[in-house]
Amino acid sequence: MKHFNNQRILPAASNIKEFERLMETNYEYIILLDCHIVQLFSLMKLAKRHRKKVLLHVDLIQGLRSDEHGAEYLCQNIKPAGLISTRTSVVSTAKKRSLIAIQRIFLLDTHALNTSYRLFHSFEPDYIEVLPGVIPHIIKEVSEKTRIPILAGGLIRTTKEAKEALEAGAVAVTTSSKKVLEKKL
């Protein structure tokens, strides 16, 4: 199965300047982490002009409520390639609207991990983004237990860490690290 047209690194822009810089790269899929709702139309227009597919991190869009109504607005009006959220209702809305649906989970402890497993029994997102992404044995475990493709994100700062996450079973790595983005994995 081809994930993100075999793009193994999903660059994440945490501001407009980084987003604009990513327009000049060979990356097809990019993640927009942080922006204001009034900027979305122009940013999506820019991305379309550069033939980029944008995955929006809904929880970080200022001026937008991170719920199913906000997700519905994004699906109908902004039309990104996909939505990323810690909220199941947002991810479920993306999936219903045939967008890439990415459930973000923070693995703070065993309780958080077990809660996530229960969640995935009732709802199956297209991808799970595991944070932090620098714990290869947990990436492998989540991949094997859920059989849902894994994205590794958070604290990945070197190509070595990115490669370890990919070798552990992640289909792609999300990062804003310039060191990692400059390398082709």
For the chain, 185 residues long, give each residue's pLDDT as a single digit of tens.
689 999 999 999 999 999 999 999 999 999 999 999 999 999 999 999 999 999 999 999 999 999 999 999 999 999 999 999 999 999 999 999 999 999 999 999 999 999 999 989 888 999 999 999 999 999 999 999 999 999 999 999 999 999 999 999 999 999 999 999 988 67
Distances (CA, A) of 20 to 13, 45, 47, 149: 9, 12, 9, 28
170 token code pair: 């992640």
Q: How far apart, in whole angstroms, are the C-alpha atoms of residue 118 and residue 115?
A: 5
Q: Give the pLDDT of residue 114.
A: 93
User: What are the beta bridge partners of residue 31?
Assistant: 12, 55
How much is the pTM? 0.96
Q: Give the pLDDT of residue 122.
A: 85
* Domain topology for 9-87: TIM Barrel (3.20.20)
Distances (CA, A) of 84 to 24, 161, 184: 23, 22, 24
Domain ranges of the chain: 9-87, 107-173
Amino acid at 113: L
The answer for residues whose C-beta is within 8 angstroms of residue 41's C-beta and 6 or more apart is 78
The answer for residues whose C-beta is within 8 angstroms of residue 117's C-beta and 6 or more apart is 145, 146
Collapsed DSSP state (helix, strand, coil) of residue 35: strand
Amino acid at 23: M
Q: How far apart are the first and last CA of the chain?
A: 18
